Amino acid sequence: MPARSKARAMARPRRRPTAPARVATPPSKGRRVFMVTGGVTKFAKAHPAMDFRLMVKRAYDYALKGIPNLSADRIDGSRISYFSDHFARQLKAASMVQDYLGLNPKGSVRIEWGGATGGECFQAAYEAVASGRMDVCLAAGFETMSRVATWKGNEFIALASDTNFDFPLGGFYTGYYALMVVRHIYEYLRLRKFADVKDEREAQRLAIAEGSRIMSLVSVKNHVNALHNPYAQYPKRLTVEDVLRSEMISYPLTREQICTMSDGAAVAVLCDAERAKEFTDRPVRIIGVGTGTDTMRLADRPFGKVPLLPHERSRDYEDLPYPGVHSFRAGRAAGIEAYRHAGITNPIRELDFLELHDAYASSEIQTYEDLGLCRYGEGYSFVERGDPFLKGIDYGFPVPRAGKIPVNPSGGLIACGHPVGATGLMQGVFAFWQLQETIGKHFGDPTLQLSKPKRGAIHSHAGTGSSVTVSILERGFP
């Protein structure tokens, strides 16, 4: 018996597979929707001099300033997002934002969807325009996480896990993500790269050390990219050793592999084709939207078949129980819907960059696979080859294929921060500036500007992968 299948037989009893997940949402048939402007406040540990209304107002004023003929009276309504009433300690905080911006009595809805709150808000504004209900819709989001101490904040976040079965065990999201990456490492490093090591514990230790090293490369990438992003909370030059030596939070995840809590706000203005033409000669079109979901509890993720992307074959994954806890079926489902809507058949060829929800360095690697940037199991080698790195930046180690498909050119959540209700919109704004080729203007530093990017994706992720959004943006001008 070869080592690999022997290890499998030992660790995985036979279980009844569920039916393959069917992802059959038809592509949107709505009107064409464009993004015409956006704004972000600098994300920070705390903004004591600004409450949530003023943060949103600053981002909103910045966005409107860019377009002379876009004033509040042209906006038909809003979608406003924040994640947690616990952090806000102010119910109907979205009403107070609408009020402060002077948008009453126009229509507005509060959006909440865990960590994917911002991404969902972006899509809610998309839907308002695509459906024809509005011609111009404001998407605005914020979070004020500095209002409690860090470990209390972790408790609030952990209330987004099942309070009967999961929360009372320790209530800790980093713990949940650690459980997922330990299994991911087992599936793809222990059973593959270290298949020949006979001693099971030794093989698993080697695999975890290797996985930790590669996760650290992702952390270095995102922190170093952020050195050129003035909006980022934690830009810094780090080495792999710095990341590995930082405090152990939940084995094997260290502090530098995890995003932090932040205060911040972001806004995006979406509109129909006619208005877009009027507002700007550099509009960006939203060509695909997708969402996916999965069980709230990690423990309930079934073992079935992989829903395939167009460029994959079922024989790629014959032996892979899916999703288990090693992959995000919600991310896969969101990707399938968004790609189909956008007409994308091979994401790595047809996307120029991604802003990806890297709450953990581990989940960035897991998500490469879910979104088909590489096959399941290839996430670690994808990082080592350098595919998600930017060309022309010194990371302190070789990145041979840098620029293949930059992921988190802005620095992502790990380096920019994660004020939950704003995060997905921040990604939208950074992607918008990339596609407009205005990064130099907004960042005061052109280093992160990609050369003529045509298409990018933003990815917003909630819970332990219980809901995910993917939106695809395309340059809408010649």
Does 323 bind another protein (CB under 8 A)? Our answer is no
Q: Of residues 372-401, which lie at the interface with another protein (CB under 8 A)?
A: none
Considering only the stretches 56-64, 133-141, 162-170, 338-346, report the one whose residues sit in contact with another protein under the rule CB under 8 A: 162-170
What's the closest the beta carbon of residue 43 comes to another protein, in angstroms?
14
Strands (E), 175-318: 248-250, 253-254, 263-272, 284-293, 303-304
Q: What sign results for the dihedral spanned by CA atoms 257, 261, 265, 268?
A: positive
AA letter at 276: A
Does 6 bind another protein (CB under 8 A)? Our answer is no
**Phi-psi group of 322: left, alpha or beta (phi > 0 → left; psi -120 to 50 → alpha; rest → beta):** beta
Nearer to another protein, 72 or 299 (CB): 299
- Residue among 113, 152, 465 nearest 323 (CA): 465
Does 178 bind another protein (CB under 8 A)? Our answer is yes
Does 452 bind another protein (CB under 8 A)? Our answer is no
What's the closest the beta carbon of residue 379 comes to another protein, in angstroms?
17
Does 41 bind another protein (CB under 8 A)? Our answer is no
Please answer whether residues 412 and 459 qualify as being in contact, where contact means their C-beta atoms are separated by less than 8 angstroms.
no
DSSP reduced 3-state for 115? strand
Compute the 3-state secondary structure of the chain and give helix, strand, coil in percent, each to the nearest 5: 45, 15, 40
Residues 6+ apart with CB under 8 A from 392: 402, 403, 447
What's the closest the beta carbon of residue 146 comes to another protein, in angstroms?
7
Determine which residue in the list 65, 133, 152, 441 makes contact with another protein, applying CB under 8 A.
152
For the record, the structure tokens of 138 come out as 């404001």
What's the closest the beta carbon of residue 417 comes to another protein, in angstroms?
14
Does 179 bind another protein (CB under 8 A)? Our answer is yes
What order of strands is seen across the sheet that includes strand 77-81? 107-111, 77-81, 136-144, 263-272, 33-40, 284-293, 467-475, 455-462, 353-355
Interface with another protein: number of residues (CB under 8 A)? 60
Site string for another protein, 202-241 (x = CB under 8 A): --x-------------------------------------
Tell how far CA 44 is from the center of its chain: 19
Pairing of strands 455-462, 353-355: parallel
Does 46 bind another protein (CB under 8 A)? Our answer is yes
Does 297 bind another protein (CB under 8 A)? Our answer is yes
Determine which residue in the list 3, 4, 11, 381 makes contact with another protein, applying CB under 8 A.
11
What's the closest the beta carbon of residue 388 comes to another protein, in angstroms?
25
What's the closest the beta carbon of residue 203 comes to another protein, in angstroms?
9
Question: Which run of H or E residues covers position 73?
Answer: none
For the record, the structure tokens of 319 come out as 């032996």
Q: Of residues 66-105, which lie at the interface with another protein (CB under 8 A)?
A: 89
**Which chain residues interact with another protein by CB under 8 A?**
7, 10-16, 18-19, 45-46, 48-49, 89, 146, 149, 151-152, 154-155, 157-158, 163-166, 168-172, 174-175, 178-180, 182-183, 186, 190, 200-201, 204, 247-252, 295, 297-303, 324-325
